[in-house]
Structure 1
């Protein structure tokens, strides 16, 4: 393909067949690739679906594809994720704009989709730039507002009502995650049985609320405004979005939220800078959420414990792939320890 200048910066197991992709883009997105250049850069963040930046000239877009190796039945459905962000985008201005869906697995070996790149700052274990305590608090407030706005969208429209079945959502989630854990369990992690049995009794099956649920709403799925980093420009990773119980979604969000006074185990697995002095605590996030949505306070414990349990299962599914040699990504090596810390935290909460 001599007429194109092609380059790629991706992990060896995750490299895309760049010539095939360039041919495809020349046909489907000719305006994007009119410079006759294509550079692919894989993002290191994320432990589920793989994300790449495609750059041609001055333009950049994002490609999403499933990971290699064994996959949970519905966790990596590219067609569904594309349709979700397409549907949600009409009602929620923080979701990225979908550009192209490819269901032909001959192009790169998997179905994939392309969406706009929201330019801004990402968050990982640390803040991307220095922020005052006042800015940190404002970021937390905007974070809660973003989740509250998502949960307040009218889901009766044709576009959104087809995204899931909110009736029986909690039962399906609890049963489903327990089954996934059992299927992915390895010998070096603990049991989830005690937690599952406790949740079966204490987790409300019907809170009375139904909404869109993002199912992965957390700091490292946000894009911040570079000029005012306390402001949120975008929310990413909609692969698990459906219709369900927003209080369960809140619990899943708080499972990632490590307070400054949490024990050493939780500090060791902290993925976001929620421990900083200017950040809200989990309790403050909860209270702010209830206030913004004008709902009565409720017992958060079952929802938080479910969030910890679900996060442990997600980590275990990823660790299972590493344990059995289906991926050699070194960042997954210690996920078994992560699973045990989360299970222990959940057991402490129900003691």
Structure 2
């Protein structure tokens, strides 16, 4: 685990890639907080670009969109800023917002700046000093934070209410992500039509309308400097909205690679979900549903599991599209093409198990 801004192992801030560089003086003038002594870039993200700004008396984080094709409504910096600004008073894990710039003349796109949350981000591996009980406690605390987010009273905050579009969130997600997949296809994209038909035929009604993160993973969390089991920050609110909580959980489980998963899925892992003491996907789902009062059978959960993997495949395909068409030269993106094919196989295996079970 590393501080999100150190130069140690894990996912440290590194020198800014040439293709992602910006006019530091222009940002410094806009920010008006003194000289920006150093700018570094966090290389792990595959969506919005994230930078560390080092000033004499503080460290700040700058977020901006990537270059290349963007899905409609994606990479909305103003929206991401507004959500966190509205949520901060009732959800203490949100970073403090510093400012939002919509003037594209400053660095070529809208961007926002926020305070850096002090602590460490659980990346691929945990410190060897953590015991099995420590790891289990971290896992439980993390999913309790998601339940806490889903318990925020959205109706009491106008900025959050405005995010919602009412019932039908599941259906909108199914049609929306299917449309995004169609637009991001490349010559090597497989035939997903039967998987899409299965998803469309089995979509349930919304179980609730709550504030959801839509990208909740351990590597989007910050743990306290003095306690690696205590969550102090939740990052990357790009896809947050008001919607169905089980869809949020299903999306998170698509990233949750267990120790017993196959070799390729282990390569896909970006968080320490395989560590000794981490809960299995089924244990997390059972604990969450019990706490939140959502009675979901294993058969019913298959929809959320398959859709979570499908949604992840679309995200991977959108990234692969940019790499395939040479809109980015980031070699980290080369793996996303094979990842889409793997996720297709994973979806099919779950659907086949569902058919055998008579679902």
Q: What TM-score do the two structures reach when normalised by structure 1?
A: 0.92
- The corresponding residue for 1:3 is none
- The corresponding residue for 1:205 is 205
1:72-111 alignment runs, 5 A limit: 72-111=71-110
SS at match of 1:300: helix
- The corresponding residue for 1:52 is 51
Deviation at 1:203, TM superposition (A): 2.3
Q: Deviations over 1:106-136 (max 9, x none)?
A: 1111100011110111122222564211011
- The corresponding residue for 2:325 is 324
- The corresponding residue for 2:7 is none
Change (3 A) 1:129 1:203: farther
Please give the alpha-carbon distance, in whole angstroms, between the structure 2 residues aligned to 1:343 and 1:243. Answer: 28
- The corresponding residue for 1:154 is 153
Deviation at 1:229, TM superposition (A): 0.4
Please give the alpha-carbon distance, in whole angstroms, between the structure 2 residues aligned to 1:210 and 1:164. Answer: 8
In the alignment, is the contact (CA less than 8 A) between 2:125 and 2:275 conserved in 1?
A: no
Matched, 1:14 2:20: yes
Matched, 1:263 2:262: yes
Deviation at 1:294, TM superposition (A): 3.0
- The corresponding residue for 1:23 is 29
- The corresponding residue for 2:278 is 279
Matched, 1:179 2:179: yes
- The corresponding residue for 2:337 is 336
**More deviation, 197-206/333-342:** 197-206
**More deviation, 186-195/241-250:** 186-195
Deviation at 1:159, TM superposition (A): 2.6
Q: Deviations over 1:31-68 (max 9, x none)?
A: x31xx343111111210000111111131111100001
Please give the alpha-carbon distance, in whole angstroms, between the structure 1 residues aligned to 2:136 and 2:54. Answer: 35
- The corresponding residue for 2:195 is 195
- The corresponding residue for 1:163 is 163
Unaligned runs of 5+ in 2: 1-13, 353-359
- The corresponding residue for 1:62 is 61
Please give the alpha-carbon distance, in whole angstroms, between the structure 2 residues aligned to 1:60 and 1:215. Answer: 27
Deviation at 1:173, TM superposition (A): 0.6
Please give the alpha-carbon distance, in whole angstroms, between the structure 2 residues aligned to 1:59 and 1:339. Answer: 40
In the alignment, is the contact (CA less than 8 A) between 2:24 and 2:36 conserved in 1?
A: no
Change (3 A) 1:297 1:170: closer
Deviation at 1:166, TM superposition (A): 3.5
Divergent runs of 4+, >3 A: none
**More deviation, 89-98/133-142:** 89-98
Q: Deviations over 1:146-187 (max 9, x none)?
A: 010111111112232112213211111111111111111112
Q: What TM-score do the two structures reach when normalised by structure 2?
A: 0.90
**More deviation, 214-223/284-293:** 284-293
SS at match of 1:334: helix
Deviation at 1:295, TM superposition (A): 2.9
**More deviation, 156-165/232-241:** 156-165
Q: Deviations over 1:221-241 (max 9, x none)?
A: 001112110111100000111
Change (3 A) 1:67 1:129: farther
**More deviation, 105-114/195-204:** 195-204
Change (3 A) 1:116 1:128: farther
Work out the number of aligned pairs and report it.
336
